[in-house]
Structure formats: structure tokens, C-alpha cells
Chain A
Amino acid sequence: MTDAPLLAMRGIGKAFLGVPVLAGVDLTVNRGEAHALVGENGAGKSTLMKILAGVHTADAGTIELDGRAASFAHPAAAQRAGIATVFQEFNLLPELTVAENIHLGREPRRRGRIDRRAMNDATAAALADLGFPDLAPTAAVGSLSVAHQQITEIAKALSQGADLICMDEPTAALADAEVALLYRLVERLRERGVAVLYVSHRLREIFDLCERITILKDGRLVDSVATADITPDELVTRMVGRRIEAQFPPPLPGTERGEVRLRIAGGGNDYVDGIDLEVRAGEIVGLAGLQGSGRTEIAEAVFGIAPFTRGTMAVDGRPVRITRPRKAIAAGIALVTEDRKAQGLALRQSVKANARMVLDANARVHSRARLARVDGILSSLDLVARGGDQEVQFLSGGNQQKVVVAKWLAAEPGVIVLDEPTRGIDVGAKHKLYSVIRSLAAEGLAVLLIASELIEVIGLADRIAVLHDGRIAGELPGGATEQEVMAYATGRREGTHQE
């Protein structure tokens, strides 16, 4: 019995709405092992973790715990079996104390009443045992740092008898000094024989902490290797792998790189810092980086949603201070937002009302001539709709996105920022948007393109700025390999800034 691994998942498969997300994935974790689960965005890491946590049920495959078959129909079942998951959103009640959170629903009682002293003593002992004797059991969780909340969450899991703790990007919200606490905690857990499944993009942590690495790609298992047997560069190569080249249209003839249209110097705010970026007329600059690296935050700063608080910005050589979207629009900046339904469209209004919304809302850009061109813009995007009066909620995702693009093109911007323009849309619409992006460049716009699909950035951008932790880690020419981009994105390599 003792040689059976703590956890053995075999042949796990899962599909959502008929789209396979995981197929034939194996994952084995031994007692007291720190095990990394890695892969690009969309590789299936989260889904696998959620299956383990009982949030999703696998369509195929088996799960064994200590050699015995197990299945979790519900998160509580996984918890009872000794599997605890620490998601990025903690499952703690901020108004209650550390001790109350840890013992929630299982409070020690004396004569029918909660025995606070026993509860606090037990908590203090448990925290000391984890190596955090100075964390007060009576502190309200809401007043703690993120790192201390994380420790509370893990102490809670341990007090419920967890043998395996899954951590989803545990350092994403931690300050550098706090990461050291987490390192200590993981060491301590391993000494106690508790296994840790560590999901992270950060290669350094993986190589520092984990003994073995399971690599996923496009929902499939690439390999499971001992950390000692692989170098960080090899790991990146295996995460990215070879992929079928998507068809990206070449730059249109006559596309010329002109003057600098957008210049950011030393841009920074709470999310990003030290951003130096120039986009010229006719140029497509890609922003690459992992989730949470600050891609969208740069777009939001440029557009005045969460403005830069440091540094300067200039459009067409004129210094601008963009503090609100209205000002960005007046300066000739457009932003095709990431979430078209929440941020881009008034879903119950007509195609036409949406397409002219920017013109309607901004006297500075409104003109009869531009209004007259709206229909032409919609048809040049090959919009498929029953007519201009159709409500946009009834359009397909791709056609909705075309309406969003149209409403910005109607304002004839000089700088256009596209944040995930092809997310969740069909292949045909994707290719249409690719060629639209090319023709915008040919018309002399400065294009800033954000996409989590690396291949899109590589295939379309003339230059790629790769972000890591809110900073530009390096700049690459268009057509760089995914490995090169990932090396910067994961913090393996630093081009322009020191860590």
C-alpha cells in the first residue's frame, strides 16, 4: 500500500459544450512531494485542478487516492478525501478571526458554547508548527496581508486533514518579500508529508520549489519529468512545442512606417511600471505576456480607464494627459476592449446605434461626414446581420466584435489599441479581423495589439514588447519564436530591466 502514490489521475478527459479541454491526461503526485503543473494559458491546468477539487467532473479517466479509486461529485467530497485547493480567490470570511476561519463549523465547544480559548490555543499551535508563530489567531482575516491570508487558508486545509494542497498561481498576488514566506511554507508542508500541487507560470519558483513537473499543452499531457532532468529553456520549449502555423495575411503593399504616433515614457501606476513604448504610424506593436502581467493594464492606462500616474504620454508628438476615456477619444485613441459584452456593446440596442455610439457620445469627433461613413465601415467588415436595426445581442460573437471595431473606426482614430480582439470568435471572423488590422496599419494608424494567443502577436506584430510582472521584460522583432517570447514572459530572461 505504501508504494502507491498519494494521487494518481489517469486518462482524464473533459469537454465543455463539445469542445475538448482535456484529453488523456495523467498526473501522479507522491506524498510529501512538491509537484509543478505547467502549461500556457488554455493548456488545461485550471480545468484539471478543478476536477481534482470536485468543481468539475471528468468525462473520462480515473482518480486514485492511496491506491483506492475515488471520485468527487462535489467540492466537499474532495475536501473529505484530503484534497484542499487554494484558489486565487480565498475562501475566507474577512470579518472573522484567523482562528474562527480555521475552525469554521468545527469550533471546539465546552458546555455547549464555543471554547474560544481552546480554539485560539489550537490555532496558535498550528501556526507555530507551520513556522508562523507571530501570526495572531485573533486577528481579523480582512486585516491581514495576502500572504497571511494564504497561510490561514492553508492552515485551515491542514486542520481539515488535507494530504494534498493544490495552489493556483499562489504568488500572483504576493509582493516579493511575501514570496519568501510561501517558500518556507511549502518546505514545511513537505517535511510534514503533505504534497503540494503547484500551478504557476513562474519558472523560477518551479525550479526552486518543485521536485517534479507535469507539462500540459493544448489539453494533453506532454510529459512528467524530474526537475533535475530538465533546464528552464527546455521546459519552455516543451510547454510551447510546435504548432500548426495559422494563416496571417502579409502586410499590405504600401504600408509604410511613419512618425511616432503614440509615445509612452516611464509610464506607471499601481499595476505597471517603467513602461517605455513607441508605436509609429503604419506599425503594429504586439504586447505579449502571461495573464496578470499587465497587458490589459497598459491598454487601460493608455485609454484613461486606470490612467498612468507616472511618466508621460504623447500622441502625434503632442503631450497628452489621458485621465478619462473621453480625453483619450478626443486625442484620437481608440480601445477595442477585452470583454465585448460587458465593456463594448449596448446589447439591446441596434447594430447602427452601437456603431455610431462613439460619434454620438463625443462632440469632438462627431461629424456628418463620419456618420455617413458608418454603413460603409460595417459592410467593409463583412458584417452579417439582418440589418442595421437588429439588436446586437442576437449577433454571433464574431459579428458583435465587428460592430465594436466599427464603432471605433467611425471615429477615425490615429492610435488603436486592440485588447484580445479575437477572443471567442470563429475562424472566419478572426481572419477578417487580421486583415482589418493589416489595413489599419496600411492607412497609417498606430496599432497596439494585445493577445494571449502568442501566435497572433507573433504573426501580426512588427515588434513585440513582452511583459512580465507589470514591466516590459524585453522587446523582440515580429516573427520571433514562441520560445523567445516565453523566455521573457516567464521571467527567464530580462532584456531592458533588472529584476
Chain B
Amino acid sequence: MTRVRALGAALQGAGTVFLLLALTFAAIAVVNPGFFEAPSVMAFLKQAAPLVVLAAGQYFVVVSGNFDLSVGALVGAQVVIAARLIDGVESRTVPVMLVMLAFGIGVGLVNGLITTVLKVQSFITTLGMLLVLYGAIRLWTGGAPTGDLSEAFRTPGRLGITGVPLIGQIPWALLIMLAVGAGAILLMRTRFGRILIASGDNELAARLSGARVDAVRTAAFVLSGISATIAGVLIGGFAGVSAQVGEGLEFTVITAVVLGGVALGGGRGTALAAMAGALAIEALFTLFNQMALPATLRPAVQGAIIIAAVAYAARRRLRPAPQPTAAPS
């Protein structure tokens, strides 16, 4: 009974995004009935996987009351680092992936500590980190990325399990996306997850309950750094190395999280809905492709979505008036 009610509540809070997802798919079906063949659906999911993974990471940060604007630059940096360090040598793949993981964790840790210990607003901290990463990578590579990714490195983003009956190929990216998604959902059901969301809802109450608010918020940035690392592997594999990898991704992923009904400022929203928001955005872009709308329209659409979603959430929050307490005396 309570399980059903909990699901109901979850859908009620974030129902809009699932509805939007369904409507977008329906529109795609109308425009291009052939889209819902297994190969093209799999291709869609493979392409959407990095954004979903990033949305999971961003969700932790946003729900705890912060932003992480550095993820796009981090994805770019990771791809460039990978190409430079691997330089086409297969045997370096795993060690370099570990270096990337350490780098992602390090960036998250720095973001988190600057935000919580130095009390710099995360918006500024991570904007600074974005610029630092962007500049450092260009300085290091002299403007154009050098080196090459290995075949093994590109496998997760590009290939999959082949020969599956009915479906054909199941992309590794899809499996990684599902694993990350399940991990995020499960993590939010732990004590850590509950304290994280409580810290975003009412920092003072969480602190006075003994919560280590700074520690969980820093951990959220680290999770975001890890998710950017995974997304970097997927995007690098899928699209290869270029100087533009990851650009603007931070805004796409924040749009996705907001579209999923996660409140900016923290305290409300589910990881599932945040990831559904990422799928919905990818679906919208796919729809635009199908309708042969120019890709240059994307930023404008993204901007409109983020404003509309936040305005909608603000209206919803205003409606149930809080209980009046005592009369002023």
C-alpha cells in the first residue's frame, strides 16, 4: 500500500517529465514511424547515455543545494587527457582510466571543499573551475588536442553486445547508464541520500540534527566528478577527440535536472526523474532532427525549457499555503 502511494507521490512530484517524455516519443512516432525499430532506439539510448549519467551526478549536487557548472569542461578535459596519455597504446587504457577517475574525484573534491569550507557559492566555484579546466587544457595541449584514444577505450561508448535476438546490439553505454542509474537511485535510499536531500531542504535543521552537511555536500561534488569521468569515457568513445568535446554540456545537464522536477536550491526531486529529464531532452533534440529543424535552435530551446520548468516549479510550490502559526504578538 505505502509502496504504491510512494510511487504515486513520486510520479505526482515529477510526473510532468514522464508525461513530456511520452509525448515527445509519441510525436517522434508520428513524424517518423520507423524510429521505433530496435536499432534506432538502441542508437538513441547510446547517444543519450552520457547525458543521463551526467544528470545522475548533477542531481546529487543540485538536491543538496548547489550547482556544478564544471562538468562540461571536466568531460572535455578527461577526453583530452585520455587521448594524450594513451596516445594509441592499447595497454595504457586501464591505467589511464584510473588516472581519469582520480582526476574526476580530485576536481569534485576541490569544488566541494571550496564551496563548503571557504563558503564560496557553488555557482561561482564551479564556474571558476570550468574556466580553469578550459584554460589549463588549452595550455597543456597548445590549443589542439594531440594523441589518440585506444580501441579498448572507445569500446564502451561505441560498441555493445552483439547478436542479441530481436534487438541486435545492446550498447555498453546503455548498460553503463542503467548501472549508474540504479546506483544513484539506491544511493538516495541510504542514510547518505536522506541526509543529502535534508541538507538541501533545510541546512540548519540538518546540522542541528548532527548531520555533517559539508561532508555530504562535498561528496555530492565528488559523485558529480565521477559521473563526468564516466560520461567522458562514453563521449570520447562515441564521438572521438576534439577541442569542443563537452562544451555547453553543463547547461544541458542542468536543464535536464530541472526538467526532471528537481528544485534548484535543493531539497526536492528524485534521481529517477532527473535522469528522465535527460532522456526527455535527448528525445526533444531527436524530434527536432526528425523534423529537420536546424541544430542551432537547441540553445534557445534549452533556455526556454529551463525558464519554463523553474517557473512551473515555483508556481507549484506557492499553491499549498503553509500552515499559519501563532499570531504575531
Mark A residues whose CB is within 8 Å of B: 15-17, 19, 21, 41-42, 44, 46-47, 303, 305, 325-326, 329-330, 335, 337, 341-349, 353-354, 356-362, 365-366, 387-389, 393-397, 400, 407, 423-424
Contact = CB atoms under 8 A, between A and B. Distances in A.
Interface in B189-206: 191, 194-195, 197-198, 201-202, 204-206
Contact of B208 (A335, A353, A365, A394): A335
Interface string B315-329: 000001011111111
Contact of A397 (B209, B320, B325, B327): B325
Given A357-B211, A362-B210, A395 B198 contact: no
A395 B329 contact: no
Interface in B258-273: 263, 267-268
Contacts of B212: 326, 361
Nearest to A327: B210
B279 to A, nearest CB: 25
B308 interface: no
B220 to A, nearest CB: 15
B210 A348 contact: no
Contact of B329 (A46, A341, A361): A46
B172 to A, nearest CB: 35
Given A348-B268, A397-B323, A389 B201 contact: no
Interface of B: 2, 5-6, 9, 191, 194-195, 197-198, 201-202, 204-212, 263, 267-268, 320, 322-329
A205 B177 CA distance: 72
Interface centre among A330, A341, A360 (most CB of B within 10 A): A360
A335 B6 CA distance: 30
Nearest to B193: A360
B320 A305 contact: no
A303 B210 CA distance: 10
Contacts of A325: 207-210
A343 B205 contact: yes
Nearest to A358: B209
Contact of A344 (B194, B195, B208): B208
B322 A393 contact: yes
Contact of A345 (B194, B205, B325): B205
Given A349-B198, A366-B191, A389-B9, 17 more contacts: A19-B327, A21-B328, A42-B329, A325-B210, A330-B210, A341-B325, A345-B202, A345-B205, A346-B201, A347-B322, A348-B267, A353-B198, A358-B209, A360-B194, A360-B198, A397-B325, A400-B323
A326 B207 CA distance: 8
A389 B9 CA distance: 9
A47 B320 CA distance: 29
A251 to B, nearest CB: 29
A361 B211 contact: yes
A55 to B, nearest CB: 11
A348 B325 CA distance: 17
Contacts of B2: 387-389
9 contacts: A15-B327, A17-B327, A341-B325, A347-B201, A357-B206, A361-B191, A361-B211, A365-B210, A397-B325
A132 to B, nearest CB: 35
B271 to A, nearest CB: 15
A396 B323 contact: yes
Nearest to A303: B208
Nearest to A42: B329
Nearest to B266: A348
A356 B201 contact: no
A346 B268 contact: no
Interface centre among A19, A21, A357 (most CB of B within 10 A): A357
Contacts of B210: 325-326, 329-330, 358, 361-362, 365
B329 A346 contact: no
Contacts of B208: 303, 305, 325, 335, 337, 343-344
Contacts of B9: 389
A346 B206 contact: yes
Contact of B327 (A16, A46, A335): A16
Nearest to B6: A389
Contacts of B324: 17
A21 B326 CA distance: 12
B5 A424 contact: no
